Structure formats: structure tokens, C-alpha cells
Amino acid sequence: MAETARTVIRDIEHHGIIGDLRTCALVADDGTIDYLCWPNLDSPSVFTALLDSDIAGLFSLAPDWSDARRLQLYLPDSNVLQTRWLAESGVAELTDLMPICSDEDALPRLIRRVVAIKGEVRLRMRCAPRHDYARARTQAIADDDSVRFEAEGQPSLRLAASIPLELDEEAAVAMFTLHEGEQALFVFGSADDEKVIADNIEPCLQDTLHFWQNWTRKSHYRGRWREMVERSALALKVLTSRKHGSIAAAATFGLPETLGGERNWDYRATWVRDASFTVYAFMRLGYTEEANHFMHWIGQCIENSTELPHKLQVMYRLDGHCEFKEESLDHLSGHAYSTPVRIGNDAYRQVQLDIYGELMDAVYLANKYGEAISHQGWQRVIRITDYVCENWQNPDAGIWEIRGEPQHFLHSRLMCWVAIDRALRLAIKRSLSMPYQRWYDARAAIHDDIWANFWNKEKGHFSATRGGDSLDGALLLMPLLRFVSATDPCWLATLDAIKNTLVHDGMVKRYQLADTPSDTLKGEEGSFTACSFWYVECLARAGRLEEARLEFEKMIRYANPLGLFSEELDARGHHLGNTPQALSHLALISAAFFIDRKLSGNGTQWQP
């Protein structure tokens, strides 16, 4: 049973996610946990096979059946995952969960229970963590009825099991047989955690199920596509830090936007933009606690930026720390040989003016449907809005974090307009003091600038850049954020131009690389899932309801069998990029909400 450099490419879409609101693990449909960062979501990984080969660390558990059909499902209204194998000779069922403890500082545990549902099942198990992104030498040590995993300078880990374990090349292994009705238990976690024992897991399973199901019941959504909406909400929740209130953009790092390409980023941080949109989705579903917790977190981030408290970073670490230095893990071969595999993200140093608009939109909604803004909070808003008034004319890196020269992007202008507009609305609603005339004049100036410099008369549509003629999927936010009427002829012409240029069977690219010289990276990328749902919502708002409904139905078929979406889709609808992606799921929620409202003839329901 010697360890070999076996190359198994488990497709991105063939994974489910489990988590405990501190970290997450990906479980492939062959029963392999091939991705886990421990103990936090942004800690170094201990299972990294998804980004290399199996020797980079995994926890595999599966029947010794070559012809079995594999299926995955979540237990209803939860993030407890089951993987099932159906063969002529029997049925096996694997349940995976990460318990959510009352102590938010409790170290994570992986619990795996495999049951022989029918017939006799012979199974193989291999647990081979590799510390520090598979950079550290991990040693496996037998310890009574468990195995410890040690690496210098790294946290000690333990695997406990209800069956005998053996050692094989710094891994815990087992081959065993279960008869119908029998089960085996495996618990993985800290070597110092007294709860890492292979004992009766039923109370823990029930407690975890009750947590997720009670949370799901708080949703106000009762419309069409309810299962997809609730699965999206559960995906967003599992990316949320219970301790800090921050929301990760995705669970993973380094997964490619095109197979074999170099667009491989780390999304284990909180983008102000993505998290603000996530608050928007939570508010629509009635999850005000999550929205309020995030707003407290982002307020603390602003306060911690002592040099310029009004100047936000693009992203922050999940604990609110500012630095997210980028480096390449050159020892990893990458998913489907896509290199470099990056951790950290130097985009945190960029200037992206659009984040102020997304943040202020979230502040406005949180105040309208959640907690009223405090005096200190309003002082932060004043500083942010004044900063936007002073800087909206500057070029920046834009929403897509272009690594070439800064440009004047329409989306950045639009979001500066949103920032000031929402600050004005909030001040008027709450009778708060403000420099009204200054803000009003700046908002009007941005409005006029967009119409004068970003409307291309020759092409007959809005342009992504000042004085240009190219299109951009981010333009789809213009009517969604109420800058322009969804039925304005100029906007409808832009929507049709996007359809003819960027849309492929409902899947929308962010932009055409040939039209974007500031994108200096090599290779193509897929269609952007969030843009595709924004497109659907724009169709519905334009009154093209049947077209919107059909395109929405197409899009949700591109979800994986568990209802999860990654960042992008290839031309055949297969998943690309980091997964699950918060921005994809919140855009799905927004589109489903609006289409359902229109189909129900309810124009007075929740309004932004």
C-alpha cells in the first residue's frame, strides 16, 4: 500500500462543502476530502490534493466497488452531507459533518460515518494530512486506538476510529468489511481535543442538524425555486465567520478560471464588495442578525485603518487584519496542472472605488431593515462619503481587479454615485446632519459624467470605460442599483448589446479579453456566474419576464448536483474557479426573488 504520486483530477463541480462557521472542507463524490484548511478557513491547508495530486493530502473513504453509482445529497435544510454508492451487490452511505459547538473558539472536527445499508461492503480508508499547504513533512504516529499527525511548528492532529488503524507512509489506513446494518466511525481534529474520539456520534449529528435546520426556518422566502434559494443561503452561511461576522468570498484558493491557465486566485478573505452584496441577500431573506454582525465587523475594519480611517481596503482577512500578501506555492502542480497556485491576494493593495457604493448600499439596507445607525457609525459614513466626493474622478483597478494600468471604469463611477445617493437617502430618512448641498452636487456631477463620457453614441450603448466602446458584465448592475430605469431605451440597447456580445446560452462573460488591453494576464476565462444571474434579473426588470424565467431555468441547471455554484462556467457549463462562490449564490437569490415577485404580481413586497 505504498504511497504514489497518483494523479486524480476530481472536477470542481463534483464536490460538496461542509463547515462549522470557522473553516470548511470539500468532499468529492468519490468520498474523498481533498481540501481542508485548519483550524481556520484562511489557515494553511492540511488536505490539498485538489490542487495537486493525492500525495498533497487527503482523507479518502469509499467502498471497494468499481461499478457503483455515486450520488451526493444534503440532509434536508442542512450542511450535513451524504455520499452514497449503489452497486449490484449492495448500498453504502457516508455521512460527513463538522459539528458546530456552543464555544465559537472550539477547534474544528471532521466526523465521518459509513454504514452498510444493504449487503456486505468492503471499504478502504486513507487519512494523510500534509501540513502547511503540503510544504511541511508530516509524521504519522500510532497512539493507542488513534493516529497522531505531527509536523514541526504546525498544529498536531489526530484521527480516531471505531476500527483498527494501520500506518502506511505517514498515513493512517484501513481496509475493513461492514455487514448490512453495521457502521464505522472516524473523527479527525486536534490531537489535544478530548472530543476527538470515535464514540456515539448520534447526539452530535442531531445537534448539528438542528442548528442548520433551525437557521433555515428563519428564512422569509416562500416563493418559486425555494430549494435553490435556501441552498444558496446555506452556502453563504457556511462561508460566514461566527466569531468575526466576516464573510469569505469563497472557501478555496488557487482553483483555475480556465483549466491549465494562470488565473488562479485566493478567495479566502472578505471582499467588501462581495460581502456587502451578501448582506443584501441575507436582508432579503430575513437574516438580519448576519447583516448586523457583518456591519459591526466592517465598522471595526474602518476604525482599524488608522492612517486613513475613511479609506477602505478592497479586502480584509477574516479576522479584520489588513495584510493579505500574495505568494505562489510552486511545489504544487495545480488543479488540472493550472499554475501558479496562489495564496494571499495582492489586489488588497489596489484602489477600487466601487467598493464604497456596495458598502453604502449595504449600510442603507441594514438601517432600513435592521439596526438603526449609531452616532459613531454615521460619522464613519460622513468620512466615507466625503472621500468619494473628493475622489470619484480618479482612475482605478475596477471591479474585476485589472492588474494593468488604472482606468476610468463606468462601474466605478456608478458605485460612487450609489455611495453618495445612499448616504443622502439615509440622512434624510433618519434626519441626520450632513453637508447636503455638497453631496447633492457631487451626485449630480457623477450622473452627468456617466451620461456625457460613458454613453457611446456611435455604438448606441453604454461603454465599460470612459470614451470607449467595449462592454462589461458589470454594466448589468446599472438598473439593479436604480441608476437608470430598467426600461429606458438607452439601457435596453445596452442590454441587447451585452446579449449579442457577452452571452452564450445565458452564460455571461465579464468582458471580451480582446477589448480589454489592461488585462495583462495570459489565457481565456469562463463565463462569470454572478453576471449571468444579473443578466436574468435585468431581463425580468425590463419586462421580458418569460425570457428571464427561461434563462434562469437554464442557469440553475448548471449548478452541481448539490445546488452549488463556483465562480465561473466553461462553454459547456462545467464549473471553473473557486467554490462555492458567495457572489454567485447571492446573485441567484436576487434574481429568484425578483422573478418570483413579478410572476406573483406582487409589486409591493420587499423594496430596496
Domains and CATH numbers, the chain: 12-201 (2.70.98.40), 223-600 (1.50.10.10)
CA angle 57, 59, 60 (to 5 degrees): 120
Residue type, 193: D
> What grid cell was written down for 164?
483498527
> What grid cell was written down for 453?
463620457
Quote the pLDDT of residue 403.
Answer: 85
> What grid cell was written down for 511?
468582458
Q: Between 288-304 and 272-285, two packed helices, what is the crossing angle to 10 degrees?
A: 160
Q: How far is CA 72 from CA 211, 231, 306, in A?
A: 21, 14, 48
| Helices (H) then strands (E): counts for the chain | 14, 29
> What grid cell was written down for 385?
462619503
Kind and range of the H or E run holding 490? helix 489-502
- Give 31's DSSP letter: S
Running along the chain, 608 residues long, what does each successive block of 10 average in pLDDT? 59 98 98 98 98 96 95 98 97 97 88 98 98 98 94 97 96 98 98 93 95 96 96 97 94 96 95 82 89 86 68 89 93 96 93 93 85 88 94 95 91 98 96 97 98 97 96 97 97 97 95 69 85 98 97 97 97 97 96 94 52
Question: pTM to 2 decimals?
Answer: 0.95
Quote the pLDDT of residue 15.
Answer: 98
> What grid cell was written down for 271?
471582499
Quote the pLDDT of residue 516.
Answer: 64
Q: d(Cα 54, Cα 358) in Å, to the nearest integer?
A: 40
| Coil, strand or helix at 73 | strand
| Coil, strand or helix at 227 | helix
> What grid cell was written down for 357?
457604493
Quote the pLDDT of residue 607.
Answer: 46
Q: How far is CA 10 from CA 134, 406, 443, 528, 584, in A?
A: 18, 37, 49, 21, 21
User: Cα–chain-centroid distance for residue 138?
Assistant: 30
Quote the pLDDT of residue 192.
Answer: 95
The tally of CA atoms less than 13 A away on the side-chain side of residue 344 is: 11
